Structure 1
Amino acid sequence: MNLQDIAALRGTGAVFGPGEFAARIARLQRALAPLGVDGALLTGPENIFWCTGRQTAGYFAFQALLVPVTGAPVLLVRQLELTGAVAGTWLEDIHTWQDGDDPAAALARLVAGLGLRSLAVERDGWFVSPAMADRIGAALADLRMVDGSGLVEGLRAVKSPAELDAIRRAAGYAQAGMVAAIEACAAGVTENDVAAAMTAAAIRAGSEAMAMEPLVSSGPRSGIPHATWRRRRLQAGDGVFLELAASHDRYHAALMRSVWIGPVPAPAQAMMDCATRALDAALAAMRPGRPCSDPHDAAQAVIDAAGFTAAFRKRIGYSMGAAFAPDWGEGAILSLFSRVDRPLEPGMVFHLPATLRDYGAFTVGASETVIVTDSGIELLSDLPRTITIR
């Protein structure tokens, strides 16, 4: 395929129209103005995606987006990624580095060609190693660089109508996966059987690649945070922990539920009753203008009063949106937790997993993904939150 044919692919795989991304770039450029820099250098895949729609399974290879304070953004990708970058974005200026080249040197040439003398740089990105950061710093040593960490993330916290629509679709896929997982739970089946049913149903419903694998664990393993399927066969008396996030156009919605194989022991039921009350309290506290700490504090009060403080010890929720592996959430952007003062705003999206654990024995609880609205919240699932007995 020649360059003319590649150019004809421009935007054919874009998740949104050009206007959506133009509005995002304009917001970022306004946010850059007070920093007194010529532009921003972005390397995080979520931030590059938010600005341009650029997505690929090959984001392990270095990529960078330069966003000048005026004018159009410029993307640098590995040569192999050029076709996908053209098809997935509306960008007109995409540059490449070839295998065997130094990406930091290619970035320096691009910056020099654009005449940029100062940049706001992400310093807390996950996908630039310390060694690569040193090489970039050396290659851009003549520039003035300021810390731009969190700049794009702050803009991503409030979703546009197009983003909210994608998240609602993802929530439907997640619910389909959860229903199938619950139905698959039975004595004698393996955790792999349950995970297969869960992921197959979510994918058949429409889910694309998930930014983190679903969590399926049973028996004592269900009491280990973030454990997932490992061929264990479900037995009578087991608790089963189920959680997944499905994806639509990279936007994720998560859901968690609990299952028990046979009668639920009294200690587990007491914890479950507390978890659902805590979740109800957190959801009731979610109103625009209230700080992000309020839902957590409301849930924590319920848990503390029931004597289960040691079984919780975490935040009640975190932001959701566009995600790439290894995390399906935006927990690094915004949490529902103590002393988080940012007010809740319409268009914010959160996953609230109310889980209580007897560590190494079982986990129980339920979660919801919700959209903050002008008057409260919009729940994105309608599954019962009680333990399902199988």
Structure 2
Amino acid sequence: MNEYPFSIEEYQARLSRVRERMAELTIDALLVTVPENIFYLSGYRTTGYYVAQCLVIPLAGDPYFVVRNMELSNVKTLSWLKDGYPVPDIANFGDELASRIRDITEKGSRIGFEEQGFFLPSALLATIRNSLVDRKLVPTSGIVEQARKIKSLQELAYMSMAAKAADAGMEAGLEAIVAGRTENHVAGAAYLGMMLAGSEYPSSSPYVVTGPRSALGHSTSERGVVKRGDVVYLEIGGCWFRYGAAIIRTVSVGRPTSELQKAADTALGALNAMLDFAKPGVSSGAVDAVGRGIVERAGLAKFWPHRAGYSIGIGFPPGWGEGHIIDLKPQDPRILEAGMTFHSVPVIYIPGLGAVGFSETWTVTSAGAQVLTNTARKLIAI
């Protein structure tokens, strides 16, 4: 018998929470197309989500999948929900999905769909809408995400394993940094270290960039050669049953300059302050303000253009973040609760120098922030 990542009871509780919200919004059926949400509710996972797929959740009755024919094996093997309708490659997915919806709903039914996800193309939505003119399609993004906001003990256990894999990848990457090697060499070592520690394929490849080019947002390895005097930026994310944990560290190749040391001390100060401050009952904006204030007082605010952090948990490529669930950002009034998980990312991007930053993945507990990642939190000089 297949062992699922979570107990059937936990999956059933998740489904019940989603249906409670559906009832509040008078939604008769929900079309779940976001891969992370499908996985959260069922355990189904595939790299083939670039082709349309849907988990249909009626307010009453059994949920079922509408997926590409070759993906039905994943429904039968990986999901605790076994009902699935296979769509042949020669068929129109939108027509097939609309037909299945018509079978289980009545005229006038309200059909919810995830309008903010990446995986419901406008052409597919138009096909469904044109086929269901006697039903009302209602944008309902956020129903499943709100259920995902607070992690269970088992989810936190998987994130702890992902954090250990991220640390292993980071340590391997740090050991590989030598002047004259390419950033690809370092990234490869980090990836290997992470995978040897048990990680699945990550939701984003390791970010390893050397020199001033690292100051470009989300820059990736492009065969740059590590040089003495460079800043090397590393961001590694491990994955365990699709749950992620990420970590950032900065390396100075040679003795750090005063500019680099100041930026590193500032980023570390911001990260430490946020971790010390975070606890249930404080707002997202207040956590951001604690870290951002340190950067502002150092005169480096213009080099920190982004949010202070974001929810992290379930991830499929292209990213491990759950910022659409909750961010840590200026003036955000939303309140932290025990069981939330975040990746705090105070990174200072200085043109001509590079990216200087540090991060941790952590969870909110009754006692404050509990950090899951564990690589030495300091500017590393080699």
Deviation at 1:284, TM superposition (A): 1.7
Moved over 3 A (4+): none
| Aligned equivalent of 1:288, options 280, 283, 289 | 280
Asked whether 1:341 is paired with 2:333, we answer yes
In 2: Cα distance, 1:272 partner to 1:67 partner = 48
| Aligned equivalent of 1:241, options 229, 233, 251 | 233
Residues 14, 87 of structure 1: 8 Å contact kept: no
In 2: Cα distance, 1:248 partner to 1:359 partner = 35
In 2: Cα distance, 1:105 partner to 1:82 partner = 18
Consecutive unaligned residues in structure 1, runs of 5 or more? 1-10
Tell me which amino acid in the other structure corresponds to 1:86: K
In 2: Cα distance, 1:202 partner to 1:365 partner = 21
In 1: Cα distance, 2:121 partner to 2:110 partner = 22
Asked whether 1:23 is paired with 2:13, we answer yes
In 1: Cα distance, 2:114 partner to 2:133 partner = 16
In 1: Cα distance, 2:289 partner to 2:227 partner = 37
**Matched residue, 1:225:** 217
**Matched residue, 1:7:** none
Counterparts of residues 43-192 of structure 1 (less than 5 Å): 43-116=33-106, 117-192=109-184
In 2: Cα distance, 1:147 partner to 1:240 partner = 43
Deviations 1:293-315 (A, max 9, x none): 11101111111111111110211
Residues 214, 245 of structure 1: 8 Å contact kept: yes
What secondary structure, in the 3-state scheme, does the structure 1 residue paired with 2:118 have?
A: coil
What secondary structure, in the 3-state scheme, does the structure 2 residue paired with 1:58 have?
A: coil
What secondary structure, in the 3-state scheme, does the structure 2 residue paired with 1:247 have?
A: strand
Please report the TM-score for the alignment, with normalisation by the length of structure 2: 0.97
| Aligned equivalent of 1:310, options 290, 302, 317 | 302
Asked whether 1:298 is paired with 2:287, we answer no
Q: How many residues align?
A: 380
**Matched residue, 2:4:** 14
Residues 75, 82 of structure 2: 8 Å contact kept: no
Tell me which amino acid in the other structure corresponds to 1:146: V
In 1: Cα distance, 2:292 partner to 2:71 partner = 46
Deviation at 1:289, TM superposition (A): 1.1
Asked whether 1:359 is paired with 2:327, we answer no
RMSD (Å), alpha carbons: 1.2
Tell me which amino acid in the other structure corresponds to 1:187: A
What secondary structure, in the 3-state scheme, does the structure 1 residue paired with 2:283 have?
A: coil
Segment of structure 1 superposing worse, 196-205 or 373-382:
373-382
In 1: Cα distance, 2:352 partner to 2:123 partner = 38
Please report the TM-score for the alignment, with normalisation by the length of structure 1: 0.95
Deviation at 1:17, TM superposition (A): 2.4
Residues 177, 197 of structure 1: 8 Å contact kept: yes
Deviation at 1:71, TM superposition (A): 2.6
